[in-house]
Structure 1
Amino acid sequence: MLQLTQLRKVYQGKVVLDIPSLLLDPGIFWIQGANGSGKSTLLKIIAGMVPFEGDITFKGSSLRHSPLIYRQHIGWAAAEPLYPPFMTGMDLITLYQRIRKVPQKEIDQLIERFNVGNFIKGQASAYSAGMTKRLSLLLAFMGDPALIILDEPLTTLDTNSFTLISDLILEAWQKKGTSFLMSSHQELDTNLLNAQRVLTVINQSIVL
């Protein structure tokens, strides 16, 4: 269960988000809204990436008071991920593996499913946008987080990767009860649409 309490975000004196209270049961949620409505900001806040006023709790842990425990439950993939150009994908996977204590068997399975084995040992500076995106999504799924937050997960992906992501989301929800928060300008897979609820960001607030 994800709970937002008195959440408020201000940029340069302008209120970007103002959500007095929001309670989400486990599930798959698609966040919609016009450009500049605060979708990405909301996802970054819930992922623990940017400061904000108020508090967020998930699985009994407060982002404000127990940030490390809170973040252990969260997987995150940005809309346009950036990684240090000198690092390889394997460097990043190994780092996440140590932090999240992920078994090597799971790593091998994810590398195969995301089809990154042919470039993962090269430096990030040589990756295309699609390669970088697949790596970011792989990292978000590592360690079986209870909540995975995906900002524009389908951008820069080919058709095969598009289908893979949809299948992985449904599989994680149906088999493990993993919750998802996503934003997307692209139409989601029909099966995925049938399994999710829509949240709309309007005038700095959320409408269910």
Structure 2
Amino acid sequence: MNKVLEVKNVKKKLGKREIIKGLTFDVNEGEIFGFLGPNGAGKTTTIRMLVDLIHPDSGEIKILGHDVKKDKVKALENVGAVVENPELYKYLSGRENLMQIARVRKIPKAEVQEIIELVGLKDRINDKVKKYSLGMKQRLGLGASLLGNPKLIILDEPTNGLDPSGIMDFREIVRKAAKERGVAVFISSHILSEVQQICDRVAFINNGVIQSVESMDEDFTTETDTLVISTVNDEETLNILNTIDIVKDSFVAEGKITVQIAAGVTPQLVKVLVEKNVEINEVYKKHEKLEQRYMELVEGGAR
């Protein structure tokens, strides 16, 4: 698998304080890589170095083999980025915003239209951005970052401020970009639930140090799967779940249904629920072991 982003022994001081203490990791083509840690762990400083807003004191950052410091133009021409609030011209329409970027980067109109459809904005793309919801602005920002078919997308806390529907939509767009376009995606976040639902691998960072890099598929498998299900009628769904043999336990927590089943039977459970006319808004696997690892690695095992 081709390495798109390579970070080797990167260190950075701000003043006399060492913020980043020798980071080493890589992100592959088509991979969604999570950068998980508490606020103040060094995530934003790392992102600023990845896009050459600040320089590392030592170490290397390469994008498709091009050193960001020594060959900035070649390295960054392969990068798109979305931070918490994408910079957009509110007095222009969504299409006009994308066309401004396309003209500068000499991107054909056909590609702009393709991006509009990918991010699900074709019905509102001619509206002024000032009329957009936060979720729509995030979609447009992601669309702008995808123009020119970059090989690396950097997302800094991308779901901040989004409602559950907006988060689901944003997640699906990112997945499509990674799997259909082969884009490497780097997601910085402090939200466990987001990382566990979208990432292929996760780096745990705290105090400027990567504690571990782990695969979501290999290192978080158990004999029992824990699912979180959101439905139109949770109470009715809970009663139905209690009659299904493959369900070991089910209860409501934090406004959603948590279900424990044997590992690997999730498709079977979803099929049964659909057959019983349960209207499902969302279903995902909860990686409880991820929470345990986060506590062990980032918070020393204590809350």
Q: One fold, TM greater than 0.5?
A: yes
Distance (whole Å) between structure 1 residues aligned to residue 205 and residue 178 of structure 2: 24
Q: Which residue of 2 aligns with 1:153?
A: 158
Deviations 1:99-124 (A, max 9, x none): 44332122123224342763655365
**Does 1:25 find its partner at 2:28?**
yes
Could you tell me which of 164, 184, 188 is aligned with 1:183?
188
Distance (whole Å) between structure 1 residues aligned to residue 126 and residue 21 of structure 2: 40
Partner amino acid, structure 1, of 2:84: A
Deviations 1:22-59 (A, max 9, x none): 34433211111011101122123213333332331111
Distance (whole Å) between structure 2 residues aligned to residue 134 and residue 173 of structure 1: 15
| Mapping 1:91-110, distance limit 5 Å | 91-110=96-115
Contact 1:163 1:189 in 2 (8 A): no
**Does 1:3 find its partner at 2:6?**
yes
Distance (whole Å) between structure 1 residues aligned to residue 50 and residue 56 of structure 2: 10
TM-score (norm. length: structure 2): 0.59
Deviations 1:62-109 (A, max 9, x none): 111111111111110012334466666445422321344332122123
Distance (whole Å) between structure 2 residues aligned to residue 11 and residue 84 of structure 1: 33
**Does 1:64 find its partner at 2:85?**
no
Q: Which runs of 5+ in 1 are unaligned?
A: none
Distance (whole Å) between structure 1 residues aligned to residue 90 and residue 183 of structure 2: 31
**Does 1:35 find its partner at 2:66?**
no
Question: In the TM superposition, what is the alpha-carbon distance from 1:142 to its structure 2 partner?
Answer: 1.6
Q: Which protein is bigger by CA-based radius of gyration? A: 2
- RMSD value over aligned CA atoms? 2.7
> How many residue pairs end up in the alignment?
205
Q: Which residue of 2 aligns with 1:115?
A: 121
Which deviates the most, 181-190 or 50-59? 181-190
Contact 1:47 1:75 in 2 (8 A): no
Partner amino acid, structure 2, of 1:66: D
Q: Which residue of 1 aligns with 2:226?
A: none
Contact 1:133 1:156 in 2 (8 A): no
State the percentage of identical aligned residues. Answer: 23
